Amino acid sequence: MPKIVHCVFGLGCGGAERLLLTTVEGLHKRGYVDQHVLVADLSTPAMRHYVEAISQYATVYEAPSQADLKDCSIHVPPLLRLLPRRILFNIVRHAVVLQKIAPDIVHVWSDNIYAALGACLVRTPRIVLAWQNMALNVWHKLNILPRKALPRTYLWRALYALLFRWRKDITCLNVSRAAADSYAQWLHLDSRSINVLYPGIGVAQWPRCDAAEVAELKNSLHIASDHAVVIGLMRFDATKRPELWIEVAKRTREQFPNVTFVAFGDGPLREALTPLAARAGVLLPGVGNARNALSMADIMLHTAKTEGFGVVYLEAQLLGVPLVSTNTGGASEAVVDGESALLVAESSNLADDLTAATLRILRDEAWRKRAALRGAAFVKERFSLENMLDHTLGFYGLPPFAR
């Protein structure tokens, strides 16, 4: 039985983490039961959101602290010893756990270059590097990352160059063609060397709540029975632009009073934006069950500055919820623009444009019904869980089911 280790920064409440859980569960059901999840940081409750769920299918480890590395026996090549002390520490603390597990396959999620280099240190036979977003230089161009982070970005690019020089057999993946091409450009790679592994979603795991359950959900949030509902599922940070989301809600409600906006999620900006949301009449109930939230929604509004793909696009469409979203990153690969969603280009009038798109859908019930059917069919056809698992195991060099 092959040992598979998934390496991730944290297990917080996010789309990439939900995708990790879906993958680990799916592989387990296919007979790959020797799975492990190595997490860089489990120090806060927010970073432990999915620990209990993932622990049903894999053993969860946290990379050790510096104090735990006193008796470390990892051999560090002379070139790596030239790295800044903090960088080397992060590489070695991943390597220590990987050496103990001795995996056949290490699946590195997101930008965890430390785990990838740690896997090289312990000579893991197969390394799969799976990015989940646009490259870091894109984040700088969009002013999501500040100028003071540029040295770290340049350092990471150098670390990737070292990684690919050290191991030429690493399999590279990303969640959309747009995201893959952004990494190819940033790291000076042939775009064909980065495979696209689209997220998958299990249809049976996402049944829509029935009418009675939806009524109960609305009642628990004091939403009027005759109100349309627009929801957001987001992390409250600069990337998702929750302030813009609230502004669109405010402008929409001024022209269409019978609508309630509900933004689910948590993050560093949530507390500061609570008064603004209250003035705009927006509900901020905190982290909620995505299926329940989408079941009561008439529209999902998404205002991200950048999005590698956005698992939430699939979740919304599968449950028949049309989207209004910024047209960024891999969004156009995740929806059928004009049929299951309205994608809005970045502009100086972005809040007005997003408001107009939201009002258009609210006022056109026939379009909403068509969009619901088109979106669900699109996801079932293009983004099945089984297809994603087949491709994942193919990149691992393993058969579709454990023998």
**Residue 45 maps to a domain:** yes
Residues 223 and 370 in one domain: yes
Encoded amino acid at 83, one letter: L
Taking phi over 0 as left and psi of -120 to 50 as alpha, with beta for the rest, 38 belongs to: beta
Measured distance CA(386)–CA(82) in Å, rounded: 44
The answer to whether 280 and 383 have CB atoms below 8 angstroms apart is no
The pLDDT value given to residue 79: 86
The pLDDT value given to residue 72: 77
Residues 209 and 106 in one domain: no
Structure tokens at 306: 């950048």
Residues 241 and 257 in one domain: yes
Measured distance CA(37)–CA(106) in Å, rounded: 10
Residues 190 and 218 in one domain: no
**Residue 190 maps to a domain:** yes
**Residue 96 maps to a domain:** yes
In the 8-state DSSP scheme, what is residue 395? Answer: H
**Residue 401 maps to a domain:** no
CATH number (domain holding residue 304): 3.40.50.2000
The pLDDT value given to residue 226: 92
Run of H or E including 179: helix 177-187
Run of H or E including 59: strand 59-62
Residues 189 and 241 in one domain: no
Strands (E), 91-192: 105-109, 126-130, 171-174
Strands (E), 193-311: 194-196, 228-233, 259-264, 283-286, 299-302
Taking phi over 0 as left and psi of -120 to 50 as alpha, with beta for the rest, 301 belongs to: beta
Run of H or E including 39: strand 35-39
The pLDDT value given to residue 287: 83
Q: What is the mean pLDDT of each run of 10 residues along the chain (403 residues)?
A: 97 87 97 98 91 98 81 84 91 95 97 96 98 95 91 94 96 98 97 96 89 93 95 94 98 98 94 97 91 96 95 95 97 98 97 98 98 97 96 98 89
Residues 340 and 207 in one domain: yes
**Strand partners for 109:** 130
Measured distance CA(19)–CA(174) in Å, rounded: 13
- What is the residue range of 253's domain? 203-382
Residues 227 and 356 in one domain: yes
Residues 143 and 167 in one domain: yes
Kindly give, in sequence order, each residue whose CB lies less than 8 Å from that of residue 245, ignoring residues fewer than 6 positions away. Answer: 232, 234, 263, 301, 303
Residues 40 and 75 in one domain: yes
The pLDDT value given to residue 129: 98
The answer to whether 305 and 241 have CB atoms below 8 angstroms apart is yes
List alpha helices for 35-74, DSSP H.
51-54
Measured distance CA(304)–CA(171) in Å, rounded: 28
The answer to whether 310 and 179 have CB atoms below 8 angstroms apart is no
**Residue 232 maps to a domain:** yes
| Per-residue 3-state assignment (H helix, E strand, C coil) for 305-361 | CCCCCCHHHHHHHHCCCCEEEECCCCHHHHCCECCCEEEECCCCCHHHHHHHHHHHH
Cα four-point dihedral sign 392, 398, 400, 402: negative
**Residue 112 maps to a domain:** yes
Residues 65 and 167 in one domain: yes
The pLDDT value given to residue 71: 67
**Residue 59 maps to a domain:** yes
Q: Which residue is listed with tokens 């500061």?
A: 272
**Residue 402 maps to a domain:** no
- How many domains does the chain fold into? 2
Structure tokens at 350: 């972005």
Structure tokens at 400: 């579709």
The answer to whether 248 and 269 have CB atoms below 8 angstroms apart is no
Residues 174 and 228 in one domain: no
Nearest to 177 by CA among 203, 197, 163, 160: 197
Residues 114 and 195 in one domain: yes
Q: What is the pLDDT of residues 214-227, one digit of tens each?
A: 999 999 999 998 99
- Gyration radius (Cα) of the chain, Å: 22
Question: Coil, strand, or helix at residue 54?
Answer: helix
